[in-house]
Amino acid sequence: MRDYGKYLLFLLAFVVTLFFSNKVMLQMPKALVSIIVFGVLSLLVFYFDKHFRKRKTISKILLIFTWLSLFLVVAYTHENYWSTKNVYGTQMFYSKCFKVKIDGKNYVLTTQSHSFTIRTYFFNLYQREGLFYRRVNRKYYFVYTKNMHPDKSSVWIFKNTVLKNVHNLQVDPKTAFYYQPIN
């Protein structure tokens, strides 16, 4: 019986990556290409291990490229600098998706909120074009509040600050949202 541990590790890492990925980012061209490359390289690793046992160098090189392609799958299925060319670090790595309608058109809003001393919200807006989504905004939208637990949802905050271009929105005595356009 052969050792299939590395194949199970590849499969498990791939499934976990897809499970935690952003559903909009999965429908971007970069993500599709990286998933296809990972699949082809995984099949090549399996094929070379099965049929060319004496060519260990080629198998090791394929194994390294397969791990690198898995890194690309992780990078392109989450909102980060590599997938958006704009969002840095982990600002939107675990973003959530919401369907929104703006001026009668359907969009998908991705949002992520962080809190340390203030609560910050990052937003990106996507629109479907054919099979894939296209990012509408060039730079991410940034809103913050000093209230750590505001009663309003991310979609409400986006619609009432970013869409209306309101830079200072006082909701109640404890909650004010501040929208800062990023140039």
In this predicted model, what pLDDT tens digit does every residue of 83-120 receive, in sequence order?
766 665 455 667 788 899 998 899 999 888 777 778 88
Burial 33-59 (b: 16+ CB within 10 A, else e): ebbebbeebbebbbebbeeeeeeeeeb
Pick the closest to residue 22 from 79, 73, 75 (CA basis).
79
Q: Is the dihedral of CA 14, 19, 20, 22 positive or negative?
A: positive
DSSP state of 161: I
pTM over 0.85: no
Across all residues in the chain, what is the average pLDDT? 84
Tens digit of each residue's pLDDT (9 = 90 or more) over 55-83: 778 888 888 999 999 999 988 888 776 67
